[in-house]
Chains A and B, each alone.
Chain A
Amino acid sequence: MPADREMILGKVRDALAPLHERAKLPSYDGAVELARTRADAADPMAEFAARIRGVNGEVVPDAPALAALLRTRGWMRGYCDPALWGSLEPHFGEGFHVELSFDRARVDDYQFGITRGAGAIAETGTIILNDTTTSTRLAALAPWAHVAVIPRKALHGDLMAAVAALGSDPNVIWCTGPSKTADVEGILIEGVHGPGAQIALFTA
């Protein structure tokens, strides 16, 4: 609405006109202001592992461990990004049914979805997904378990570093543990719309 645009901007200008002085933008160094002592910050991988467990997420050391975890939980049907399956398949063995395309008409058929993660944040145990590297948004969201396969070198120390790395991807999403709600009487329930299990696997 072009008329609305002019009206709003006109009202904004009128509202601000009487101000003799406008509030200045404070200059600050985020790294200094947000610095805090993090006991395990010296070892980002250990810090990430501790933080993701703190939000009920999980981290597995390698592909065989991932396959074993999925098997233990009885999650044998799922989706995998075709670009990852070549390196994962040899470790999965008998009994798994893995599809390389995600059919949105059958969202409930997938117990897990394995997609590429673009990075991670040690300070918070966060998995970072970028639109350009995530094979399908739905496969990282709709199945009960989501596994992000993340390049080890893309582990950021803290939020400041992760914000600085946002770049020009049209859609970046940070996922910190399973989807959760406490709407009913403040009781924490996981897996409300998205994954009930959020799993990270780092690769060299």
Chain B
Amino acid sequence: MKTQQIDQFAAGVSEETRHAVYDGSKVGHEKRTKVLFDHFGAPDRLRRLAGEIKQHVIENLDTYLPAVEARLAANGVKVHWASTAQAACEAVHSILKARGATRLVKAKTMVSEEIELDAYLRERGIESLETDLGEFIVQLDHDHPSHIVKPIIHKNRAQIAALFEKNGLGAYNDDPATITQRARQFLRHKYLEADAGLTGANFVVAESGRMVVVTNEGNARFCLAATRCHIALVGIEKILPSDGDLALFLNLLARSATAQQLTVYNEFILGPRAPGQPDGPDETHVILVDNGRTDVLASDCRDILRCIRCGACLNVCPVYRQAGGHAYRSVYPGPVGAVLSPLLLGKRFPEKADLPKASSLCGACNEVCPVDIPIPDLLLRLRDKAHTEGVPSPGTPPMGAWALMATRPVAWRAALAGGHLLNHLPTSLIPVPALRAWEQSRELPPWRGGAFRAWLKMRRKPGTGT
């Protein structure tokens, strides 16, 4: 029988990668829980509060977006709007072109992956270089990130050492410290030669127009210290109402993402560099990107727009741990990606309509989410959407026969009795294809159908005295 797409992918994942992803995500999750509960008596209260704030923002984007635009402009930032990936790429290109810029360094921008900016700029003779160590390695290897905050969770040091050797970054050496030092030396000169720095933004505050960019490596800071032009690609949902909210969100983000009390670098940007400051941008651009977000807003899954990209739901997800990030075929993997990625496709939703099925609906993703997104509910809504729209669902067991049986007592009794045959059948002869597939890697418990009914029937009723 044909399995679901994500299972097909997972079947091809090497043992090495599976262990790397499993161990990495498990450790991340355990540390997160410890630090949150050690530090705060009731972290769930904080998660709910943060969720309410972001839900308020996305349900009032019609007022927040113009407010942010006005604030940014008042701070000396040039604001651009891009409704599609193409428009966002064009906006970046036209800013670079106007400055005669040919070298771009990037940090902390998943939107640039989403809009496939690298290829667009390359075709136009512009180098666009990732500077986060993991993202840099992924770019060198023509690979894709497989985790929101740990992009190369699927790679080991030997693979990286071989890649560096192949790309002229020194003779083979798989010591992580050496790998990091080599990247440091290579990249610092790239920053200094670059004409512009491109980042995302973790938050943009409506009240002040303050953008916040958070990194551990300091790569976004280097982009903004070495270059003269800062371009920020910002999804329209990244807004927070006021500066005061930053303390809540920064506390939650660092702990949820990497179990840190605070990420190493938190940069708060109002606009171009201060007078007298020799380093940093004299031009700051913000490109507000839609690229499908308004479709998400129009759907009954708009809650997913609360997401602050911490990756906690990936770390805790039993499906992500087994399948890895690439199985989701999207920039956004894991539970959040299973909701967001199909929706961002708009009319092409059927292409990724299988992702919401790649979940056991165990609810762990909701429990860890720093903005309390009810991911399992959203997954169910998307399953319903796929069903309603008649999207074919290869590899999922048909439930029609089950429904027929479960709603007719006679059929049900017959099935309970007949099921005992399963105990004597070899796996290959089990008449239900889904069960056959299941049995390939697991064993069914012995069939005991009817035992409960028999017990119930024979049981003496309490108080009857008989």
Q: A141–B53 Cα gap in the complex (Å)? A: 34
The reply to whether A178 and B264 form a contact with Cβ atoms under 8 Å apart is: yes
The reply to whether A23 and B264 form a contact with Cβ atoms under 8 Å apart is: no
Stretch from A58-66, A69-77, A91-99, A126-134 that touches the partner? A126-134
A-B contact count (CB 8 A): 262
Q: A180–B247 Cα gap in the complex (Å)? A: 22
The reply to whether B83 and A26 form a contact with Cβ atoms under 8 Å apart is: no
Q: A102–B226 Cα gap in the complex (Å)? A: 12
Q: A45–B27 Cα gap in the complex (Å)? A: 32
B123-161 at interface with A (beta carbon < 8 Å): 131-134, 137, 150-153, 156-157, 160
Neighbouring A residues of B279 by C-beta, 8 Å: 104, 136-138
A53 to chain B, nearest CB (A): 13
Q: A14–B295 Cα gap in the complex (Å)? A: 10
Neighbouring B residues of A39 by C-beta, 8 Å: none
The reply to whether B176 and A141 form a contact with Cβ atoms under 8 Å apart is: no
B59 interfacial contact with A, CB 8 Å:
yes
Neighbouring B residues of A126 by C-beta, 8 Å: 262
Given contacts A9-B62, A33-B46, A163-B247, contact A184 B265 (CB under 8 A): no
A162-177 at interface with B (beta carbon < 8 Å): 162-164, 166, 168-177
Q: A7–B289 Cα gap in the complex (Å)? A: 12
Q: A13–B60 Cα gap in the complex (Å)? A: 9
The reply to whether A168 and B264 form a contact with Cβ atoms under 8 Å apart is: no
The reply to whether B183 and A8 form a contact with Cβ atoms under 8 Å apart is: no
The reply to whether B290 and A11 form a contact with Cβ atoms under 8 Å apart is: yes
Given contacts A163-B247, A170-B272, A172-B267, contact A23 B59 (CB under 8 A): yes
The reply to whether A166 and B268 form a contact with Cβ atoms under 8 Å apart is: yes
The reply to whether A179 and B180 form a contact with Cβ atoms under 8 Å apart is: no
Residue from A169, A174, A191, A192 with most neighbouring chain B CB atoms (10 Å) = A192
The reply to whether A14 and B298 form a contact with Cβ atoms under 8 Å apart is: yes
B115 to chain A, nearest CB (A): 13
The reply to whether A189 and B177 form a contact with Cβ atoms under 8 Å apart is: yes
Q: Which of B27, B225, B236, B272 contacts A186 (CB 8 A)?
A: B27
The reply to whether B62 and A137 form a contact with Cβ atoms under 8 Å apart is: no
Q: A107–B188 Cα gap in the complex (Å)? A: 9
A42 to chain B, nearest CB (A): 18
A204 interfacial contact with B, CB 8 Å:
no
Given contacts A7-B83, A22-B59, A176-B263, contact A170 B180 (CB under 8 A): no
B250-277 at interface with A (beta carbon < 8 Å): 250-251, 258, 261-274, 276-277
Q: Which of B180, B248, B276, B297 contacts A12 (CB 8 A)?
A: B297
Q: A22–B41 Cα gap in the complex (Å)? A: 30
The reply to whether A186 and B24 form a contact with Cβ atoms under 8 Å apart is: yes
Stretch from B210-218, B370-378, B434-442 that touches the partner? B210-218
The reply to whether B264 and A173 form a contact with Cβ atoms under 8 Å apart is: no
B43-84 at interface with A (beta carbon < 8 Å): 45-46, 49, 52-53, 55-56, 59-62, 65-66, 75, 80-83
The reply to whether B247 and A30 form a contact with Cβ atoms under 8 Å apart is: yes
The reply to whether B224 and A9 form a contact with Cβ atoms under 8 Å apart is: no
Neighbouring A residues of B236 by C-beta, 8 Å: 8, 12
Given contacts A189-B177, A191-B184, contact A175 B264 (CB under 8 A): yes
Neighbouring B residues of A152 by C-beta, 8 Å: none
Stretch from B238-246, B329-337, B382-390 that touches the partner? B238-246
B111 interfacial contact with A, CB 8 Å:
no
A78 interfacial contact with B, CB 8 Å:
no
The reply to whether B276 and A132 form a contact with Cβ atoms under 8 Å apart is: yes
Contact residue range for chain A? Answer: 35 or more
B219 interfacial contact with A, CB 8 Å:
yes
Neighbouring A residues of B244 by C-beta, 8 Å: 30, 160, 163-164
Q: Which of A19, A33, A36, A108 contacts B248 (CB 8 A)?
A: A33
A43 interfacial contact with B, CB 8 Å:
no
Q: Which of A107, A123, A163, A192 contacts B133 (CB 8 A)?
A: A192
Q: A124–B187 Cα gap in the complex (Å)? A: 29
Residue of B nearest to A189 (CB): B180
B71-115 at interface with A (beta carbon < 8 Å): 75, 80-83, 87, 90-91
Residue from B60, B266, B269, B290 with most neighbouring chain A CB atoms (10 Å) = B266
The reply to whether A194 and B261 form a contact with Cβ atoms under 8 Å apart is: no
B324 interfacial contact with A, CB 8 Å:
no
B1 interfacial contact with A, CB 8 Å:
no
Q: A162–B2 Cα gap in the complex (Å)? A: 56
Residue of B nearest to A191 (CB): B184
Neighbouring B residues of A107 by C-beta, 8 Å: 188, 192
Contact sample, A vs B, 30 pairs, CB 8 Å cutoff: A1-B91, A8-B294, A11-B83, A11-B295, A12-B65, A12-B297, A16-B60, A16-B61, A24-B52, A34-B248, A36-B39, A124-B261, A131-B277, A132-B274, A141-B218, A159-B247, A163-B244, A163-B246, A170-B270, A170-B274, A171-B268, A174-B262, A175-B265, A177-B264, A181-B134, A186-B23, A186-B153, A191-B181, A193-B187, A193-B222
Q: Which residues of A contact B (CB under 8 A)?
A: 1-2, 4-5, 7-9, 11-16, 19, 22-26, 28, 30, 33-34, 36, 51, 55, 102, 104, 107-108, 123-124, 126, 130-132, 134, 136-138, 141-142, 158-160, 162-164, 166, 168-187, 189, 191-195
Name the 6 nearest CB pairs between A and B, nearest first: A194-B218, A15-B298, A11-B294, A183-B134, A137-B225, A137-B279
* Additional 13 contacts, C-beta under 8 A, given A11-B294, A104-B279, A192-B219: A2-B81, A4-B82, A8-B236, A11-B298, A12-B62, A15-B294, A107-B188, A130-B274, A162-B247, A170-B75, A173-B268, A184-B176, A193-B221
Q: Which residues of B contact A (CB under 8 A)?
A: 20, 23-24, 27, 39-41, 45-46, 49, 52-53, 55-56, 59-62, 65-66, 75, 80-83, 87, 90-91, 131-134, 137, 150-153, 156-157, 160, 176-177, 179-181, 183-185, 187-188, 191-192, 208, 210, 216-219, 221-222, 224-226, 236, 241, 243-248, 250-251, 258, 261-274, 276-280, 288, 290, 294-295, 297-298, 302
